[in-house]
Amino acid sequence: MLDIFKYFNLIKTISLTDFKLKYQGSVLGYLWSLVKPLMLFLVMYFVFTKVFKIGGDIPYYPVYLLLGIVVWTFFLETTISCLLSIVSKGDLIRKVYFPRAVLIISNSMTAFLTFLANLAIVVVFMVFNHVPFTWNILFVPFVMIELYVFVLGVGLILSSLYVKFRDISHIWEVTMQALFYATPILYSPLALPVTYRKILMLSPIAQILQDFRYLTITTKTITVASTFESPFLIAIPYIIPFVVFAVGYILFEKMAAKFAEDV
């Protein structure tokens, strides 16, 4: 297992450097990390509330939607960034030895910084929409840890496979487009038939998103615990992120020795 503390300075340096380079040369600079999810939110909010009349029965729908977009944006951007991280740093890998997982962790931390900034915007929306703050919010860090572990695991798998199979980027792009609508970002799972709702809530990203909403917006939000009676079924989406991380780490370490040759 990578010694995080031993390589902490390297991870921090790469993360901060990538964060600065990401917006270098742009007029708005770091503000783009906030503008992009807000612009998507405004478009989605207008289309689905004014045109399709969706969300009227969901408490605090503007915050509900924005939080969904922020969580999804973090998942999307982190996995894509991690997917490209090994190949894009090919020159560095061939010249210097260091645990290759440092690059994946650094990319995920760069995205996590943006995620935290976007969550601050969500808090502002909560205040303006008079969402009551409860003690449940203290459990949000646990959901964030689960989300990060899941994203990191997916990133490790994608980055490993992309070194050998470049079609992975196109496959993942199509997968994410489908997954966007298969995740309750714009709508409540209650809008689906019971069978489809149960299948949906077995997805870890859906479970994480709904738990976020339950803890921050309203306890009327449907969760895995309110969907299933079986403890086994309830546990499935919570276990998957850690299984994905374990599989991702094993696969990554197995393939890492040949990264320098393949990139």
Cα separation, 4 vs 142, in Å, equals: 20
Per-residue pLDDT, 210: 97
Cα separation, 99 vs 253, in Å, equals: 9
Per-residue pLDDT, 67: 95
Helical residues (DSSP H) of the chain, grouped into ranges? 8-22, 32-46, 61-88, 90-95, 101-128, 140-164, 168-181, 194-201, 204-216, 224-227, 231-256, 259-262
pLDDT bracket for residue 251 (50, 70, 90): very high
Per-residue pLDDT, 42: 85
pLDDT bracket for residue 3 (50, 70, 90): low
Cα separation, 8 vs 66, in Å, equals: 32
Beta carbons of 107 and 81 less than 8 angstroms apart: yes
28 pLDDT higher than 60: no
The pLDDT tens digits of the residues spanning 105-131 come to 988 988 898 899 899 999 999 999 999
Per-residue pLDDT, 23: 65
Q: What residue segments make up the domains of the chain, in order of their start?
A: 31-262
Please measure the distance between the N-terminal and C-terminal CA atoms of the chain and give it in whole angstroms: 23
The pLDDT tens digits of the residues spanning 138-156 come to 999 999 999 999 999 999 9
Per-residue pLDDT, 148: 96
Per-residue pLDDT, 215: 96
pLDDT bracket for residue 213 (50, 70, 90): very high
Q: Which is it for the CA torsion 9, 15, 16, 18, positive or negative?
A: positive
The pLDDT tens digits of the residues spanning 36-72 come to 788 888 888 888 777 767 766 788 999 999 999 999 9
Beta carbons of 102 and 159 less than 8 angstroms apart: no
1 pLDDT higher than 70: no
